[in-house]
Amino acid sequence: MKLKQLKNLNWVLSALIVFGLASCKKTESNIVGTSGLPTITSVHTISKTDTSKKTNRSVTTIDANGNSTTSIVGSAINPFPFDSVTTVGKGGNLYQIVGSNLGSVTQITFNGVQAYFNPAYLTNTSVIVTLPTTAPFGPNQSGELALTTLHGTAKFKFTIIQPPPTITSFNPVAGSPGDTVTITGLVFDNATSVKFGTTPATIVSNTSTQLKVLLPAGIVQAFISVTTAGGTTVSTASFGFKYLIYGDALTTGWGGNGGGYTGYSGTVFDFNNTQNVERGTKSIQATFGGQYSAVQIGYGGPAISVPTLGLTTLKFFVYGGANSKNGDQLQIVINGNYGHAVIVTINAGSYKAITIPLSQLGNPTTITEFVAQTFQTSNETIYIDDLGFI
């Protein structure tokens, strides 16, 4: 009797093992799919933002006289409709690969770069994949999508489009004509154009992440645009001055131009000087009357709000003229705050760019006065051009 029960138990265990193996095989079949070679019949867009949507934004520019103009800028595009069939794509977007025998996919590559796919959305006829942002593009690439399963590899002609460039920063933030401006960002490959506003700049060097260009003449303040095969991108920050006290003339409200004042200890001014000009056609010529004379320019117009305009730094160019020598000093003061004066040196016979963070000048919240005071005893002459804030 016991032997019969043992035989019956062995039979049940055997049946369970067979049933389990069958179940495992069935489950495996569901995961792996059919055993035939994979095929790709089409690729579909999944991202609704497969290309950048048009965005309009307000842009304010400032001319050499400090006058502002506001305009609306944007860039037109032709986005791919959602779920359309495509043979081209951009890095970072989602795509659906449609075909047969895809259930056991192990790897997907675009131009040789492995792509991520979510196994949760994998079926025998469909795979959802993210095109890598690192996938190479251009005429020298294979233009190939390759999908590998446990049973073979399928290939499909798929072109990677160069994505639009991205501008992350530029240096310096203001400069003189001919200065080299370094623009840093992404996907600058084979840039065809760099502009400051509408003025083209000469490209000196070009890599995928850095552009060096020569600053064109006449730029006081402008947004930078970079154009590649992937499109055109405009910088979010503007190059140049956010507010000018003097470009080719005093801005309204400064000095004798509408409510301000000039002077200080016998200093002789010429605001229409055409000699030793750093940019444009005119500069400020100031001849000091002696030690502690100063270029003092007051403001009498509506309040100039530092936080509203986003001002962070005082910038100007200074040239040492008659009776000046290298190393002569100027004391720079904003709003009469001599407790936070900053000492700078000048060059005789050439312009020198001076940049001073407002944090070193007492952190003013409004701007009412600029002073550049000399310590020299001689009646030296200096020239100041492009005086303002960035």
76: which 2 tokens?
């037109």
Mean pLDDT score, 128-145: 91
pLDDT recorded at residue 263: 74
Mean pLDDT score, 80-87: 73
Lowest mean pLDDT among 55-59, 85-89, 186-190, 290-294: 55-59
The CATH code of the domain that includes 122 is 2.60.40.10
Tell me the pLDDT band of 256, cut-offs 50, 70 and 90.
confident
Q: CA-based angle 270:273:276, to the nearest 5?
A: 125
- Sheet with 107-110, side-by-side order of all strands: 113-114, 107-110, 144-149, 152-157
pLDDT digits (tens, 9 = 90+) for 271-282: 999 999 988 899
Same domain, 191 and 150: no
Q: How many domains does the structure of the chain reveal?
A: 3
Same domain, 373 and 247: yes
Lowest mean pLDDT among 81-90, 325-334, 372-381: 81-90
Q: Which of 163, 166, 141 is nearest to 47 (CA)?
A: 163
Same domain, 120 and 91: yes
Report the C-alpha gap between 339 and 333 in whole angstroms: 9
Same domain, 184 and 300: no
Q: Is residue 99 part of a domain?
A: yes
Same domain, 58 and 126: yes
**Which element (helix H / strand E) includes 157?**
strand 152-157
Q: Which of 61, 373, 59 is nearest to 243 (CA)?
A: 61
Distance of CA 79 to the CA centre of its chain: 23
Strands 88-89 and 159-160, by their bridges, are: parallel
104: which 2 tokens?
């056991």
Same domain, 297 and 380: yes
pLDDT recorded at residue 46: 86
Report the C-alpha gap between 300 and 255 in whole angstroms: 8
Q: Tell me which of 145, 160, 175 is where a domain ends.
A: 160
Mean pLDDT score, 283-298: 93
Specify whether the CB–CB gap between 265 and 294 falls below 8 A. yes
Q: Is 306 helix (H, G, I), strand (E, B) or coil?
A: helix
pLDDT recorded at residue 138: 85
Q: Is residue 30 part of a domain?
A: no
Mean pLDDT score, 6-29: 40
Lowest mean pLDDT among 42-51, 67-76, 138-147, 181-190: 67-76
Tell me the pLDDT band of 218, cut-offs 50, 70 and 90.
confident
In the predicted model, is pLDDT for residue 131 greater than 60? yes
pLDDT recorded at residue 234: 95
Q: Is the pTM value of this prediction over 0.75?
A: no
Mean pLDDT score, 176-189: 93
pLDDT recorded at residue 272: 96
Same domain, 105 and 183: no
Mean pLDDT score, 13-36: 46
Strands 210-214 and 342-345, by their bridges, are: unpaired
Q: Tell me which of 160, 190, 215 is where a domain ends.
A: 160
Same domain, 68 and 113: yes
Q: Is residue 6 part of a domain?
A: no
Same domain, 222 and 152: no
259: which 2 tokens?
């409510």
Same domain, 212 and 251: no
In the predicted model, is pLDDT for residue 16 greater than 50? no
Percent of all residues in the chain with a pLDDT value above 90, rounded to a whole number:
64
**Which element (helix H / strand E) includes 227?**
strand 221-228
Report the C-alpha gap between 162 and 188 in whole angstroms: 10
Length, in residues, of the chain: 390
Same domain, 279 and 327: yes
Report the C-alpha gap between 320 and 240 in whole angstroms: 23
Lowest mean pLDDT among 69-83, 168-182, 235-249, 350-364: 69-83
Q: Is 34 helix (H, G, I), strand (E, B) or coil?
A: coil
Query: What residue type is 303 in one-letter code?
Result: A
Q: Residue 246: left (phi > 0), alpha (psi -120 to 50), or beta?
A: beta
Q: Tell me which of 190, 214, 240 is where a domain ends.
A: 240
In the predicted model, is pLDDT for residue 80 greater than 60? no
On average, the pLDDT of the chain sits at: 85
pLDDT recorded at residue 307: 96
Q: Is residue 98 part of a domain?
A: yes
Domain extent, residue 234, equals 166-240
pLDDT recorded at residue 17: 38
pLDDT recorded at residue 71: 59
95: which 2 tokens?
């795509």
Q: Is residue 43 part of a domain?
A: yes
Specify whether the CB–CB gap between 125 and 42 falls below 8 A. no
Tell me the pLDDT band of 174, cut-offs 50, 70 and 90.
confident
pLDDT digits (tens, 9 = 90+) for 41-72: 999 998 655 443 344 445 545 554 555 566 55
Instruction: Mention every residue, 6+ apart, whose C-beta is less than 8 A from residue 143.
Output: 111, 157, 158, 159, 160
The CATH code of the domain that includes 329 is 2.60.120.260
Distance of CA 250 to the CA centre of its chain: 32
pLDDT digits (tens, 9 = 90+) for 319-370: 999 999 999 999 999 999 999 999 999 999 999 999 999 999 999 999 999 9
Q: Which of 319, 382, 331 is nearest to 361 (CA)?
A: 331
Q: Exposed, middle or buried by CB within 10 Å (0-12, 13-18, 19+), for 339?
A: exposed
Q: Is residue 287 part of a domain?
A: yes
Rounded to a whole number of angstroms, the distance between the first and last alpha carbons of the chain is: 101
Q: Is residue 144 part of a domain?
A: yes
For residues 181 and 376, the model is more confident at 181
pLDDT recorded at residue 49: 52
In the predicted model, is pLDDT for residue 18 greater than 60? no
Q: Is residue 9 part of a domain?
A: no
Burial pattern 195-204, b for ≥16 Cβ within 10 A else e, equals bbbeeebebe
Specify whether the CB–CB gap between 128 and 96 falls below 8 A. yes
Same domain, 222 and 247: no
Percent of all residues in the chain with a pLDDT value above 70, rounded to a whole number:
82
Between the alpha carbon of residue 59 and those of residues 74, 154, 175, 256, 313, the distances in Å are 10, 49, 21, 30, 21
